[in-house]
Amino acid sequence: MNEKYMVFGYVRVSTDNQLENYSIDEQIDRLTAYCKAKGWVLVKIYTDGGFSGGNTNRPALRQMLEDMKKADINAVIVYKLDRLSRSQKDTLMLIEDEFLSNNVDFVSINENFDTSTPFGRAMIGILSVFAQLEKDQITERFTMGRIGRGKAGYFHGGGNSPYGYDYVNGELLVNEYEAMQIEEIFDLFITGKSMNAITKIMRGKYENRNWTATAVRNALKNRIYIGKVQFKGIQYDGKHTSIISPEQFKEVQHLLYSKERENRKTTAQKSPFRGGYLLSSFIYCSRCGARYSANHGYYKCYSRSKSSKKFITDPNCKNENWNIVELDTLVVETIRELIGNKEMIHQLTSKIKPNKDDFVDTKKVNARMESINKQLSKLIDLYQVGTLPMEILTSKVEALVQEKNMLLERQNVKEDKIHTAANFIDTLNTFETYFETFDLDAKRMLIATLIECIKIDGKNVEIKWRL
C-alpha cells in the first residue's frame, strides 16, 4: 500500500457491548494506530454510539456510505467485523454491494481480514456466519428464558408490577394496602356499582393513586389477581399469592359481559368503563395540567371548555382544541411509524436495558472473551497460511462461540429491564397485526399498554411511552 492509501474508519457500540472492551475511544485508538503503522491516511472516522449491529439503519453508517461514493477512498476499516454488522446478510451486502462495487476494500483489524486478498474475501463470509449464529443464539436464549420463567410461574413485567403487588427479587409480593383496594373494587362491582361510581369512591378514599374508570376496568379483568401469569398469550399458574378468589373473579367476568347488564343501561351508559373515543382519558394539557375531554368533534382542555367544573385547573387556559379524527390518526400513525423504526425502538428500550452494574464478575468474563477473540484470530491466521483445514477451523470456531455464549449465560443478569423491553416490543407486534380488527375498547386497552399519556401544547403533541 502506498502513502496515499485513503481510508474511512467506522466504529460502533451498543448495549450488547457493555460485556466487551470495545468502547468508542478504544476502537478509535486502534484504528488510528493501525493506519499509522500501515502508512495509510485515515480521512474520517464515523461513529454510531448506542446502535445495534442487527440492522444497517444507523445514521453514521448511512452517511459513510454516501460519502464513500463521492470521495476518492481506497478502503473502509473497522476494529472488529461485528462492529460493521452482526447480521450475515447485512455484512455480505455491505461488503459486496456497497464497498467492493465502488472499488473500496474492507479491512477488519481484529480478524486480520483484507478484502483485497482472496483469502480475506473468503474469511469475511465465514466469520459473518458465526456472527449471525451468535446473534441468533442470544435471541433464542432470551426468548427461551422468558418462556421458562412463564412456565415456572414468574411474572414478566419486571419493575412494572401490577397494582396490589411489589416486585422483589424477581417475584411478586402482595402489597397489603394496595391489595385492599383491589379487593374493594371487586366487591363494589359485584354489588352493582358502575365503573364511574367505583372510580369516584376510590378517589375519595385513597389518595395514593389517581384511580380512573380505565384502571378500574383493567383491574377487574386482570387474571394476575387470581394467581395467573401470562406470556405470549399463554397462561400459567403463578408463584405469587392471589388477591381475589377464582369464584369471585368468575362472577365479575360474567357481570362484565352479561346481556342483562348491557340491556338495563342507557345508551350513554352502555360501557361506563369504556371511553367513548379512542384517546379519552389519555390526553393532558401541558399548560395547566388538566385532562382533555372529547365533545362536539374535538378534544378540549377541561379548563378551557369548562364542561366539568371539578376538572378545571386554570379557568384562563387557552390551549388548542384538536379535531378528534386528526389526533386519533396522528397517534395511531405515530405508533405505526415506531413499529417500523428499529432505531427509535432501540433508543427507547436501551434506556431500561441492563448496564454494567447489572452484571457480576465482569472483569473475568471480559478477560476470557478477549482471550476467545484472540484465539479466533489465531485460527484464521493458521487457515490463511494453509496449516489448518476448513473442517477443523469450523469445529474450533463453533466451540469457542459456544463457550462465549455460556459466559454470557453465566452473567447474573437482572431480567427486569429485559422483560419490560420485550413486553413493549411484543405489544407493538400485537398492534401491527390486530389493531384494525379490535373494537374500540380493545384498541384503547392496546394503546394504554404502549402509551402512558399524551400531552398537548398548542399544535405540539408529546407522547409519553410506557417504558
**pLDDT (tens digit, 9 = 90+) per residue, 185-223?**
999 888 778 888 899 999 888 888 888 888 899 899 888
Best-predicted range by mean pLDDT (42-51, 78-87, 124-133, 246-255): 42-51
Residues assigned a catalytic role:
14
Query: How far is Cα 142 from Cα 153, in angstroms, rounded to an integer?
Result: 17
Calculate mean pLDDT across residues 367-373: 73
pLDDT over 50 (residue 415): no
Buried b (16+ CB within 10 A) or exposed e, 210-220: ebbbbbbbbbb
pLDDT higher for 385 or 71? 71
Cα torsion at 441, 422, 24, 137 (round to 10°)?
A: -150
Predicted pLDDT of residue 208:
80
Query: How far is Cα 27 from Cα 10, in angstroms, rounded to an integer?
Result: 9
pLDDT over 60 (residue 20): no
Provide long-range contacts, Cβ within 8 A and 24+ apart, for 316-323.
317/285, 317/287, 317/288, 317/290, 319/285, 319/286, 319/287, 319/288, 319/456, 319/457, 319/458, 320/456, 320/458, 320/459, 322/292, 322/298, 322/456, 322/461, 323/297, 323/298, 323/299
Query: How far is Cα 344 from Cα 349, in angstroms, rounded to an integer?
Result: 9
pLDDT over 50 (residue 360): no
The pLDDT > 70 percentage for the chain reads: 70
Best-predicted range by mean pLDDT (22-26, 154-158, 234-238): 22-26
The DSSP annotation for 155-219 comes to -S-TTSPPTTEEEETTEEEE-HHHHHHHHHHHHHHHTT--HHHHHHHHHHH--SS---HHHHHHH
pLDDT digits (tens, 9 = 90+) for 263-288: 444 333 344 334 568 898 889 999 99
Cβ contacts of 186 within 8 Å, gap of 6 or more: 219, 220, 244, 248, 249, 252
User: Selecting from 3.20.20.60, 2.60.40.60, 1.10.357.10, 3.40.50.1390, what CATH number does the domain 6-117 have?
Assistant: 3.40.50.1390
Predicted pLDDT of residue 466:
78
* Site of grid cell 455480505: 92
pLDDT digits (tens, 9 = 90+) for 290-324: 999 888 889 999 999 888 888 899 999 999 999 99
pLDDT-wise least confident of 97-101, 147-151, 155-159, 352-356: 352-356
pLDDT higher for 134 or 345? 345
The conformation of residue 44, written as its DSSP 8-state character, comes to E
Calculate mean pLDDT across residues 344-351: 78
Predicted pLDDT of residue 220:
92
pLDDT digits (tens, 9 = 90+) for 231-261: 666 777 888 899 999 888 888 888 777 654 4
pLDDT higher for 342 or 454? 454
* Site of grid cell 413499529: 339
36's torsion region: left (phi>0), alpha (psi -120 to 50) or beta?
alpha
Supply φ then ψ for residue 275, to 5 degrees.
Answer: -70, 145
pLDDT over 70 (residue 34): yes
pLDDT over 80 (residue 383): no
Q: What CATH number is given for 152-274 in this structure?
A: 3.90.1750.20
Beta bridge partners of 301: 292
Query: How far is Cα 354 from Cα 422, in angstroms, rounded to an integer?
Result: 13
Best-predicted range by mean pLDDT (88-102, 160-174, 257-271, 300-314): 300-314
The conformation of residue 289, written as its DSSP 8-state character, comes to -
pLDDT digits (tens, 9 = 90+) for 385-412: 556 665 666 667 667 766 765 665 554 3
Give domain limits for the chain.
Answer: 6-117, 152-274, 275-359+413-467
Calculate mean pLDDT across residues 355-364: 55
pLDDT over 90 (residue 62): yes
Grid cell digits, residue 355: 448496564
pLDDT over 90 (residue 4): no
Supply φ then ψ for residue 226, to 5 degrees.
Answer: -110, 20
What's the predicted TM-score (pTM) here?
A: 0.34
pLDDT higher for 145 or 88? 88
pLDDT over 70 (residue 121): no
Query: How far is Cα 416 from Cα 55, in angstroms, rounded to an integer?
Result: 25
Mean pLDDT of the residues in the chain: 78
Supply φ then ψ for residue 6, to 5 degrees.
Answer: -100, 135
Query: How far is Cα 84 from Cα 343, in angstroms, rounded to an integer?
Result: 16
The helix/strand/coil state of 42 is strand
For residue 153, what is the enclosing H or E element?
Answer: none
CB 404 within 8 A of CB 351: no
Grid cell digits, residue 338: 415506531
The pLDDT > 90 percentage for the chain reads: 26
Predicted pLDDT of residue 64:
95
